[in-house]
Copies of this chain bind each other. A is one copy, B any other.
Amino acid sequence: MTLGITQTVFANNSASDGHGTFAYTFLWIAVILLLSKLGSVVEKFGLPSVLGELTVGIILGNLSLLSFDFFEPIKQDTTLRFLAELGVVILLFQVGLESNVTSMKQVGLRASLVALVGVIVPFVMGAYILGPFVFTEGTPQHIAHGSLFLGATLTATSVGITARVFKDLRALHLKEARIILGAAVIDDIVGLMILSVIQSIVITGQFEILEVIRVAFVSLLFLFGGLILGRYIGIPVARIISSINKSSGAKLGLALAMCLFFAYIAHSIGLAPIVGAFTAGLLLDEVFFSSFDGPSVIPKITAALGGTSNPIAQEVTHVLEEHTEKHLEEIIEPIGQFLMPIFFIVVGLDVRLDVLFQPSILLIALGVTIMAVLGKIVSGFVAGKGTNKLLIGWGMVPRGEVGLIFASVGKGLGVVNDELFSVIVIVVIMTTLLTPPILSSIIRRNVQQ
């Protein structure tokens, strides 16, 4: 009706369709949040809750196969996709907050090695071993180009899933987590270079070294420039503003502003926004740090309250334990809890189960998946002494974002055909669904003892 939702905001008062859409988005978010909490039942079976969210998303997204179309509009809702994107940006920002520049530097070399091996091995496997199997028709040039794209697609690590599992298990402090995160950032940069190279080979027929140097230069400029500017300009400004307004709202607003600004800059130079958000998190780790250590005073307080059996002592202990986390991370947590499930459910929504119904494609896809997994597991072995190599390898396994973008760029160039595209979708599904339970079981068994 005309009154629609009066509430958009002032001036675009007309009964804009924007309004009706907003209300539907409210409904979809409510549905997603409710189902994601139902999906978290998997935690009871020791499985990571991200798996529950992905599964809920896959079910919602494929109900249309059973002719139940009620949830189809969710897939088209741009606002929901924005919230999903914001969710993964916030997730990587949180992960960045839990790390810091110094500790990342310590693993810099190892992370670079892992990233390089994790790019080279899957690329060679894809381009030179699998390619000729997958592409049986067409000109030699066509086969060569298709194989290059298949190789490129297998290089890209999707760090969202891994980060989420480590975060949920409170394992982000592990050296393995830092190596994986560092490697994923480098991976994103290397992936960007590979894509530009292969694109130029397919389009111009030649390898353009200048383009590669340009991409590498801009990416490194962003990372180091961001770290330096952030430290010498961003942080002092944030300190000044937060000294004027000490409320948690001001702290939150400034932190989010920096996170989103870095995400924007990263995107604008061709990197994933999450790389920017992670970098902002690394930087901000050192600001807004609450030095109060709750747990250290618990024994004294418990004694004063008459021992641990006293229910009030238990509550106080609980409250103080929660306050060990740094304050900013605590404030951001609810925003992550709100938006993260939206991201992982939307990822699930986009999984098209019907591609699994074609036996020949499924068979090829299984082969490619095995190679894709092995190629990344190998990368874990160069992580150096004193690390759980299997954990690092599996942490690098999930494909997703970048791989699918590569595939669709290849499709746009006419190099990746529909079958290969379906194969890549299946690889993404498999690596996405396999990784969370495996990672969480490795962390629980071998590391957190």
Q: Measuring CB to CB, which residues of chain A are less than 8 angstroms from any residue of chain B? A: 1-15, 18-20, 22-27, 29-31, 33-34, 36-38, 40-41, 43-44, 75, 78-79, 81-82, 84-86, 88-89, 158, 192, 195, 199, 241, 244-245, 248-250, 252-254, 256-261, 263-264, 267-268, 270-274, 292, 294, 297, 300-301, 303-305, 312, 315-316, 319-320, 323, 331-335, 337-338, 341, 343, 346-347, 349-352, 400-402, 404-405, 407-409, 411-412, 418, 421-422, 425, 428
Complex contact B2–A421 (CB within 8 A): yes
Copies of chain A in the complex: 2
Complex contact A9–B338 (CB within 8 A): no
Q: What chain B residues lie within 8 Å of A263 (beta carbons)?
A: 23, 26
Complex contact B418–A2 (CB within 8 A): yes
Known: A7-B408, A13-B272, A13-B404. A315 touches B292 (CB 8 A): yes
Distance of A292 Cα from B314 Cα, bound (Å) = 10
Complex contact B351–A260 (CB within 8 A): no
Q: Please tell me which one of the listed residues B88, B254, B297, B350 contacts residue A34 in the complex, with CB atoms under 8 A apart.
A: B254
Complex contact B274–A85 (CB within 8 A): no
Q: What chain B residues lie within 8 Å of A351 (beta carbons)?
A: 10-11
Listed A/B pairs (25) with beta-carbon separation below 8 Å: A7-B85, A8-B81, A9-B85, A10-B350, A11-B85, A11-B425, A12-B267, A12-B273, A12-B402, A13-B407, A22-B273, A29-B256, A30-B256, A31-B257, A33-B256, A36-B253, A44-B244, A253-B338, A297-B316, A300-B305, A303-B304, A316-B320, A319-B319, A331-B334, A332-B334
A246 to chain B, nearest CB (A): 11
Complex contact B85–A8 (CB within 8 A): yes
Complex contact A158–B10 (CB within 8 A): yes
Q: Please tell me which one of the listed residues B6, B304, B333, B400 contacts residue A304 in the complex, with CB atoms under 8 A apart.
A: B304
Q: What chain B residues lie within 8 Å of A244 (beta carbons)?
A: 41, 44
Distance of A88 Cα from B199 Cα, bound (Å) = 46
Distance of A409 Cα from B341 Cα, bound (Å) = 38
Q: What chain B residues lie within 8 Å of A319 (beta carbons)?
A: 292, 294, 319-320, 323
Distance of A445 Cα from B195 Cα, bound (Å) = 65
Pairs of residues from A and B, 10 with the lowest C-beta to C-beta distance, nearest first: A304-B304, A11-B350, A10-B401, A10-B350, A23-B267, A13-B408, A249-B337, A30-B260, A33-B257, A30-B261
Interface centre among A4, A88, A402 (most CB of B within 10 A): A4
Known: A2-B409, A257-B34. A11 touches B401 (CB 8 A): yes
Distance of A282 Cα from B238 Cα, bound (Å) = 37
Complex contact A38–B241 (CB within 8 A): yes
Complex contact A13–B338 (CB within 8 A): no
Complex contact B78–A18 (CB within 8 A): yes
Complex contact B405–A75 (CB within 8 A): no
Task: Known A-B contacts: A22-B85, A26-B89. Give 4 more (CB < 8 A).
Answer: A13-B195, A22-B273, A26-B273, A319-B319
Q: What chain B residues lie within 8 Å of A36 (beta carbons)?
A: 253
Q: Please tell me which one of the listed residues B4, B20, B43, B250 contacts residue A37 in the complex, with CB atoms under 8 A apart.
A: B250
Complex contact B300–A304 (CB within 8 A): yes
Q: What chain B residues lie within 8 Å of A408 (beta carbons)?
A: 1, 3, 7, 13-15
Q: What chain B residues lie within 8 Å of A305 (beta carbons)?
A: 297, 300-301, 304
Q: Please tell me which one of the listed residues B248, B264, B267, B349 contacts residue A334 in the complex, with CB atoms under 8 A apart.
A: B248
Complex contact B260–A27 (CB within 8 A): yes
Distance of A351 Cα from B10 Cα, bound (Å) = 8
Q: What chain B residues lie within 8 Å of A320 (beta carbons)?
A: 316, 319
Complex contact A11–B253 (CB within 8 A): no
Distance of A358 Cα from B272 Cα, bound (Å) = 48
Distance of A67 Cα from B230 Cα, bound (Å) = 31
Interface centre among A44, A79, A257 (most CB of B within 10 A): A257
Q: What chain B residues lie within 8 Å of A41 (beta carbons)?
A: 244-245
In this complex, what residue of B is CB-closest to A78? B18
In this complex, what residue of B is CB-closest to A311? B292
In this complex, what residue of B is CB-closest to A332? B334
Complex contact A37–B264 (CB within 8 A): no
